[in-house]
Chain A
């Protein structure tokens, strides 16, 4: 009995050590970026706890490229996508969850198809469509392919279907329209799903790169990801510490939000992941 317990303790110690080691390895790239960004360029590869802290790198990066504009663009983009997604996906999910109409199951299959064939890979034809609409190099164009999200419709439909029908009958007896029912009963009850989907959507579109790269070509429309790649591509003369500062800056808002609300983040991703 005693030997068994000691062996188990050894096992725990080993697992703890291994977990710490992996966590350290995983955190290393990020910690390293933080180190270089907050210290003068001379300390890029010299680890000295007494090295002076500085915000110069951030100031240099901020001055070297129109990051303020890029941030405004990204915030506008992400907000627009989120609002449109909420409206469109809510209506569609409600239709799938509560109405019977011909073609429902075929249409739902077509919606699910988007989980596989994402707009991300249909860049060639989507570019032609946007050009035909005359929307090349606009923020709207970056968002358009994503606002009807198959994933969002699916997630909200699952939530709506778990809401007992007795509730809507009660509301209907009181003379509520379908929209009133949706607004007063369904949406309030689905709040956690909206939070989860919102976090996933915001972080996804904040980070999106390929489509914005293709469809934008001016400072006025570029989101931060594309701005960052333009900035670090002209690397002649730019110090690593400045590039790292820019890198941290662009991911900063999400990273800080994540560190502050990491429990909610993880739970949201978990909730969005359970199918």
Chain B
């Protein structure tokens, strides 16, 4: 009898959250896959089944490949550097160095700013002829003005710098949490054994921080798909799509060209990429993290 009552209560307590969870996460995810096989409805003409046509369009869409490549380089440019800096920041902030509290504030502050505000602030640095970077270039070295955001060769790098600035302090937090859970006995033992700091870092700290590194890197990968707000302010994907990322292209396709069928197809690509990464995460983490 008792068990039956628990069933009822379990479902009762769960149902409000599940309704919204299904309505705005699972249903749209499944619906995206279905929509990707249909044409975009126009006016009175309803969406009709067109099989793989959207996918064929996508494979021959130069912009899609360019955007996918951009997203790859954006990830490659952001993830290792922001994680490396995050680890360095955490080690410093967790040590007994003077000024560590102030440094922690400086490192973490970008995390609480909206990315859209961050983009506004950095725009001022990048403005040709007038921004701080050009002021320094002409003031110190007498170099001519450069347009970092207007040049297809430099725009992605300029956007990557902003993402690193925003993210490193956030990842620092995870390392800080991990470092504080490491028993100080290990450090003392290493000191008694006469281990150098470098040795202690390489052979003790880094292996212990491995689960954190994996967790942070998976988060960083998800973020490299998800964070596109700064593109809106800084470049709008230009010049010539050189700084457009996948989610930004999905936005453009769906809400500027109103090609919702094709946008669904692009979203499927993103879902597949994320799933592959999730499976990768599962194997990497394996027994290191237990959710149950």
Contact = CB atoms under 8 A, between A and B. Distances in A.
B160 interface: no
B242 interface: no
Contacts of A275: 215, 289, 291
B5 to A, nearest CB: 9
A206 B111 CA distance: 12
Contact of B109 (A27, A229, A250): A27
B274 A148 contact: no
A102 B18 CA distance: 15
A184 interface: no
Contact of A91 (B17, B125, B250): B17
Given A144-B24, A178-B9, A251-B112, A45 B3 contact: no
Contact of A29 (B121, B130, B292): B121
Q: Most A CB atoms within 10 A — which of B100, B124, B127?
A: B124
A88 B14 CA distance: 8
B200 interface: no
A121 B3 CA distance: 39
Nearest to A269: B173
Interface in B8-67: 9-14, 16-21, 23-29, 31-32, 35
A24 B121 contact: no
Q: Most A CB atoms within 10 A — which of B106, B169, B229?
A: B106
- For chain A, the bracket of interface size reads 35 or more
A45 B11 CA distance: 62
A29 B165 contact: yes
Contacts of A15: 92, 95, 97
Interface stretch (B146-154, B202-210, B259-267): B259-267
Contact of B14 (A91, A120, A248): A91
A101 B110 contact: no
Contacts of B28: 119, 122, 124-126, 129
B106 A92 contact: no
A150 B121 contact: no
B104 A121 contact: no
A145 B226 CA distance: 16
B169 A26 contact: yes
A148 to B, nearest CB: 4
Contacts of B72: none
B105 interface: yes
A107 B108 CA distance: 35
Contacts of B21: 110-111, 114, 148, 150
Interface in A89-115: 89, 91-92, 94-96, 99-102, 104-105, 107, 110-114
Nearest to B290: A275
Interface string B160-198: 000001000110011011000000000000000000010
Interface string B100-144: 101111111111111111101110110100101001000000000
B115 A266 contact: no
Contacts of B271: 117, 121
A120 B122 CA distance: 24
Contacts of A273: 173-174, 177
B29 A117 contact: yes
Contact of A247 (B117, B130, B132, B177): B117
B226 A94 contact: no
A96 B14 CA distance: 8
Given A92-B18, A148-B17, A30 B226 contact: no
B13 A92 contact: yes
A94 B275 CA distance: 28
Q: Most B CB atoms within 10 A — which of A15, A19, A117, A129?
A: A19
Q: Most B CB atoms within 10 A — which of A96, A210, A214, A232?
A: A210
The 9 tightest CB contacts between A and B, nearest first, are A101-B10, A125-B28, A99-B10, A148-B20, A92-B17, A207-B114, A95-B13, A145-B24, A23-B103
10 contacts: A12-B97, A99-B10, A105-B292, A125-B31, A126-B24, A144-B20, A148-B25, A210-B228, A262-B108, A269-B173
Interface of B: 3, 6-7, 9-14, 16-21, 23-29, 31-32, 35, 85, 88-89, 92-93, 95, 97-100, 102-118, 120-122, 124-125, 127, 130, 132, 135, 165, 169-170, 173-174, 176-177, 197, 215, 222, 225-226, 228-229, 232-233, 247, 250-251, 254-255, 260, 263-264, 267, 270-271, 274-275, 277-278, 289, 291-292
Interface of A: 11-12, 15-16, 18-20, 22-24, 26-27, 29-30, 32-33, 36, 45, 87-89, 91-92, 94-96, 99-102, 104-105, 107, 110-114, 116-129, 144-148, 150, 153-154, 178, 203, 206-207, 209-210, 213-214, 224-225, 228-229, 232, 240, 243-244, 247-248, 250-251, 254-255, 258-259, 262, 265-266, 269-271, 273-275
